Amino acid sequence: MANFRSGDIVRLKSGGHAMTISSMIDNFSVNCTWATGGEVKTEIIRIEALEMFVPNKAPPVGRQD
């Protein structure tokens, strides 16, 4: 399991926007924040669904972000 910290830039393993971990909820979930369409969004996400964001990494096959 990844060792995420507040301030890390992540994305869903399935692809999507880069998100910032704004806080750690517990050992299993983090609070992520990102901007899209001029709006700032926040969501609690399970860490097993996340990976560290790598700029210019291609999205998974079949995804168009």
65 pLDDT above the threshold of 90: no
Please name which of 25, 29, 22 lies closest in space to residue 8, comparing C-alpha atoms: 22
Please name which of 64, 60, 59, 17 lies closest in space to residue 42, comparing C-alpha atoms: 17
pTM of the model: 0.80
63 pLDDT above the threshold of 80: no
pLDDT at residue 45 in the model: 97
